[in-house]
Amino acid sequence: MRISLPILLMVLATHALGEDWVKHYADRVAAFEAENRKLEAGTKHVVLVGDSLTEGWNAGRIKKFLPTVAERVLNRGISADGVGLNERGVLNRLGPSVFDCKASHVFLLIGVNDIGHDGHAIDGTARALEKVVKTIHEKGKGVELVLITQPPTTKRYADMNPAIVRYNAKVLEIAAATSTAVIDLHARVKDDKGALPEKWTTDGLHWTDGVYEVLGKEIEVVLARPVRRK
């Protein structure tokens, strides 16, 4: 069967992009491991775990929107990552992303890259998330885990919003069943149509400073409360 040149080029480009994401994942995990080896024994860290939305917590945003804890925040976000439905994902990097971080709190926002635009993979994603949550509770002694609901989207990602709402319902169910704290970011940033305001996004999915500011305030509120798990 002959393959047209445009289709062939598209396939090759997709394959190359996939390899880049695999390398990015490996490079980030290696960087986490190196950073963990240098952590001071007496400091408890606030760990942000997730995909590109979490990796977007750069040093400037951490300093500006998490001012009271900026010096002990660790960013464990990896662009294009998921819950752990393949050989990558949060489920497969809990050591360098959670357990080896000397963490007091872990804030987890993950799943949008897994569920599919039409939500066909919501159930599998939720099962993997539940496994992540239970593993952290079982092995993360003294770690306070906080789940974050997926915010809505807009523009070319707007078709994902019904699936995001359904996935968030699963997140809330998992949180209730496992006594896990939640920041309902979706409720904080949606507009009257259930979408992400365009002023708060660069492409319909990724955020401008506005969402980081909202989430930062919510994280600071959680950190001001006594730790629930000992």
Q: Is residue 186 part of a domain?
A: yes
Residue 229 lies in a domain: no
Please identify which residue in the block is written with the tokens 């070319």: 156
- Which pLDDT does position 15 carry in this prediction? 40
Report the pLDDT value the prediction gives residue 227, as an integer from 0 to 100: 72
Place of tokens 């997140």: 171
Count the domains in the chain: 1
User: What's the pLDDT score for residue 18?
Assistant: 52
pLDDT of residue 10: 35
> Domain span at residue 68?
5-223
Q: What is the CATH number of the domain that holds 184?
A: 3.40.50.1110
Assigned token pair, 126:
């939720």
- pLDDT < 70 positions in the chain: 1-19, 228-230
Chain segment 114-141, per-residue pLDDT in tens:
999 999 999 999 999 999 999 999 999 8
19 within some domain: yes
For 60-72, give one letter per residue: b (16+ CB within 10 A) or e: ebbeebbeebeeb
- For residue 90, the model assigns a pLDDT of 98
**Phi, then psi, of 223 in degrees rounded to 5:** -65, -25
Residue 69 forms part of a structural domain: yes
Q: Which of 156, 154, 168, 129 is nearest to 49 (CA)?
A: 129
pLDDT of residue 19: 61
Q: In sequence order, what are the beta bridge partners of 181?
A: 146
**Considering only CA atoms, which of 216, 199, 212 is closest in space to residue 154?**
199
